[in-house]
Amino acid sequence: MINNEFHLTHYHQFTSLTTISIPTMKPPKILIDATKLKSPHNGLDTFLRAYIKELETLSEAYPFDIGLLLPKKNIPHFETNLKCIRQALMKRKQIYALSKKYDLWHSTFHTINKPSTNDCLHVATVHDLNPIYEKPHKKNSYLKKSNAHLQQASHIVSISEYTQSDILKHHPKLAPKPHSVIYNGVNKPDTGITPTPPPNKKFLFALGAFMRKKNYEAIIEMMPFIDTNIDLIIAGSSNGNYINELAQIAEKIGIENRVKLIPNISPSEKNWYLNHCSAFLFPSKLEGFGLPPAEAMQCGKTPFIFEATSIPEVVGKAGVYWMSADPESMANKVNQFIIEELDMCTSQKKICLRQADKFCWKQMTHNYLDLFKNLLKDQI
């Protein structure tokens, strides 16, 4: 670390002037890799935007000189006061130069960029190892890539206990490395703006990217057993064919008029649907955290989930658990819930809100800053 110096003049007993050099430390430089910022419609993007916003405002961030590594292209609806560096075309050369310039590099997604020298510390956040389950034919190459990245890390952060156990299951040689769990946060949704046109019936709501791992076909196939006065609305980011396949499933079983698929929903409309749905459904069986159920709980809504991966860790006792994937059995749980109107029960809402309050973006960022302070304690 190169030090600045300032000088004091001291009057000696011999009336001579002596210059004393007192070293002062520059603040440690931290680079946050935010190159996965794309658009405000998916979980990783939500994580990055919330993290950056808290870094801008928390006083605990002041001991650091924080920079952001951003994508090459402009990011929709994104502004920041932090120092920004655009990813260069010659990525390897840029990463090498930045590795020498910064004291700590935070990889917010563990299989993309990483420092190319040992000149800076490296914190790697792992959200999940889902690709090995989604694309088993690429499992070995993915594990090889993730192992190379994590072996180089000074500290590994998992976003759930489940993710941490999954890492150690597939990368047992990483066990000696320092490792901690830092939960993601969740936004407190406002009431939102009524969509145009608004739903004309009661509705069930599901939220999350249109990806196969979300298992949305399970709730579409459940709908013939749900009261015909209730529709199903599924919303989330979409850039593939899965959303079209879901529409075909609904048409095949004759309920296309009862299923609405909304790609790339606005945050305000999302909040309105969360606040007004009769029940919130989250049929995914593969999550590193599970942000949508936490958002639903912030609105006092009870999530319907399967007991799989990290989801029970997030939902706890606030959820209703599907014990079978049989469509009629799933529908029976939902029907019973709606008839009894448990989501309107004050005590049930309190359970949901109490569980959701465990996940806070401010607390998450505090935890990261505490980790950085511990790793850089000799430089602060």
Residue pointed to by tokens 């499992």:
139
Who's near 117: CB < 8 A, 6+ residues apart? Answer: 96, 99, 100
At 41 the pLDDT is 66
At 30 the pLDDT is 97
- Three-state DSSP at 152 gives coil
- Three-state DSSP at 107 gives strand
Q: What is the pTM of this model?
A: 0.87
At 117 the pLDDT is 82
CA proximity to 25, closest of 8, 51, 4, 49: 4
Are the beta carbons of 114 and 102 closer than 8 angstroms?
Answer: no
Are the beta carbons of 162 and 348 closer than 8 angstroms?
Answer: no
| Helix ranges (DSSP H) in 253-345 | 267-276, 291-298, 311-315, 327-340
CA proximity to 218, closest of 306, 144, 312, 307: 306
Handedness of CA 158, 160, 163, 165 (dihedral sign): positive
Strands across the sheet with 279-282, in order? 259-263, 230-236, 202-207, 279-282, 303-306, 320-322
* Domains 29-185+361-379 and 202-356 belong to one CATH topology: yes
Are the beta carbons of 168 and 143 closer than 8 angstroms?
Answer: no
CATH T-level topology, domain 29-185+361-379: Rossmann fold (3.40.50)
Distances (CA, A) of 355 to 186, 244, 302, 310, 315: 11, 35, 11, 14, 7
Q: What is the 3-state secondary structure (H, E, C) of 153-188?
A: CCEEEECCHHHHHHHHHHCHHHCCCCEEECCCCCCC
- Three-state DSSP at 282 gives strand
CA proximity to 105, closest of 115, 92, 94, 95: 115
Q: Tell me the C-alpha distance between 146 and 234, whole Å.
A: 32
Domain residue ranges of the chain, discontinuous segments joined by +: 29-185+361-379, 202-356
End-to-end alpha carbon distance in the chain: 11
Who's near 210: CB < 8 A, 6+ residues apart? Answer: 216, 234, 236, 237, 238, 240, 242, 243, 246, 261, 263
Are the beta carbons of 1 and 26 closer than 8 angstroms?
Answer: yes
Residue pointed to by tokens 């560096």:
85
Distances (CA, A) of 184 to 145, 340, 361: 24, 32, 6
At 220 the pLDDT is 98
Distances (CA, A) of 112 to 54, 71, 156, 169, 270: 23, 12, 15, 21, 29
pLDDT per residue as tens, the chain (380 positions): 434 333 333 333 333 444 455 555 789 999 999 999 986 667 888 899 999 999 999 988 889 999 999 999 888 888 999 999 999 988 999 999 999 999 999 999 988 888 888 889 999 999 999 999 999 999 999 999 999 999 999 999 999 999 999 999 999 999 999 999 999 999 888 889 999 999 999 999 999 999 999 999 999 999 999 999 999 999 998 888 999 999 999 999 999 999 999 998 888 999 999 999 999 999 999 999 999 999 999 999 999 999 999 999 999 999 999 999 999 999 999 999 988 875 567 788 899 999 999 999 999 999 999 999 999 998 87
Are the beta carbons of 271 and 192 closer than 8 angstroms?
Answer: yes
CATH of 202-356, one of 3.30.420.40, 3.60.70.12, 3.40.640.10, 3.40.50.2000: 3.40.50.2000
Tokens of 137: 């034919």
Are the beta carbons of 114 and 107 closer than 8 angstroms?
Answer: yes
